[in-house]
């Protein structure tokens, strides 16, 4: 499996998949919907899938002496690797904002979502939606990309909009806590985002394996 992951990273991936990881640093931006950083990370992955499709990568992978489900596993491992790299940047930015920049005026007066552990959990939820909708949908045909990505864009936009609006609802202001205020709640929401990511990704992976086994390449 290590070899198939190396193949994904060195042969199948587009340089954009790596460059777009840097959008995780959008967590530093005040006055901007920071969860768009998670969306842009997935956009880089999508560009990589386009590049791989034009290179007929999926047929090449299927011709290797590995099981078809290992082809799926390689794609999922690569996608999760890119998402993890983006998440590390987001978490680092959030922790800096929660400590060194906790009282910075541009962040204190920001009307949009604050960078805290809840925001990181929101990024995990966005990644889970990408894995479920786009990545799982891709393996229904192992060729078509557009419909699944458009559906994901709609789902991600609605999700980001709802998460951005939560702290404006009376009684839910705590989700936008600064620094280590309400840290127990922040940790709980982060774990909820992680659980959602794991469940959505696992469900997607199992369905993708079943679908890909039926495809006659």
- All structural domains of the chain with their residue ranges: 2-214
Share of the chain above pLDDT 70, in %: 99
Mean pLDDT value across residues 205-217: 88
pLDDT above 90 for 49: yes
> Taking each helix axis from N to C terminus, what angle separates 117-130 and 68-98, rounded to the nearest 10 degrees?
160
Residue-level pLDDT at 159: 97
Mean pLDDT value across residues 98-108: 91
Cβ(132)–Cβ(140) under 8 Å?
no
The answer to pTM > 0.85 is yes
Share of the chain above pLDDT 90, in %: 77
Please, which contacts does 23-29 make with residues 24 or more away whose CB atoms are closer than 8 Å? 23/86, 24/85, 24/86, 24/87, 24/88, 24/89, 24/90, 24/93, 25/89, 25/93, 27/89, 27/90, 27/93, 27/94, 27/97, 27/115, 27/119, 28/93, 28/96, 28/97, 28/115
From the list 125, 101, 127, the residue with the least C-alpha distance to 114 is 101
DSSP letters of 77-112? HHHHHHHHHHHHHHHHHHHHHHTTTTT-HHHHT--S
Q: In Å, what is the CA distance from 112 to each residue of 135, 155, 162, 214?
A: 29, 20, 12, 45
pLDDT above 70 for 94: yes
Residue 152 token pair: 């994901």
Q: How confident is the model at residue 137 (pLDDT cuts 50, 70, 90)?
A: very high
Rounded CA-CA distance 142/63 in Å is 14
Q: How confident is the model at residue 18 (pLDDT cuts 50, 70, 90)?
A: very high
Rounded CA-CA distance 71/37 in Å is 28
Residue-level pLDDT at 217: 63
From the list 155, 157, 163, 146, the residue with the least C-alpha distance to 200 is 155
């Amino acid at each position: 499996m290590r070899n198939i992951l190396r193949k994904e990273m060195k042969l199948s991936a587009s340089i954009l998949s790596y460059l777009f990881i840097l959008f995780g640093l959008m967590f530093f931006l005040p006055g901007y919907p920071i969860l768009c950083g998670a969306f842009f990370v997935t956009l880089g992955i999508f560009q990589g899938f386009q590049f791989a499709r034009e290179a007929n990568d999926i047929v090449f992978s299927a011709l290797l002496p590995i099981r078809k489900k290992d082809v799926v596993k390689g794609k999922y491992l690569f996608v999760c690797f890119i998402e993890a790299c983006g998440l590390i940047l987001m978490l680092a930015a959030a922790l800096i904002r929660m400590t060194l920049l906790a009282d910075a005026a541009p962040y204190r007066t920001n009307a949009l979502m604050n960078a805290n552990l809840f925001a990181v959990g929101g990024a995990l939820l966005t990644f889970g939606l990408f894995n479920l909708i786009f990545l799982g949908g891709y393996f229904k045909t192992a060729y078509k990309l557009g419909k699944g990505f458009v559906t994901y864009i709609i789902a991600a936009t609605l999700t980001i909009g709802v998460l951005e609006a939560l702290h404006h609802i009376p009684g839910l202001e705590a989700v936008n806590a600064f620094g280590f205020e309400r840290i127990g709640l922040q940790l709980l929401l982060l774990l909820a985002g992680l659980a959602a990511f794991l469940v959505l990704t696992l469900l997607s992976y199992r369905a993708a394996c079943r679908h890909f086994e039926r495809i006659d390449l």
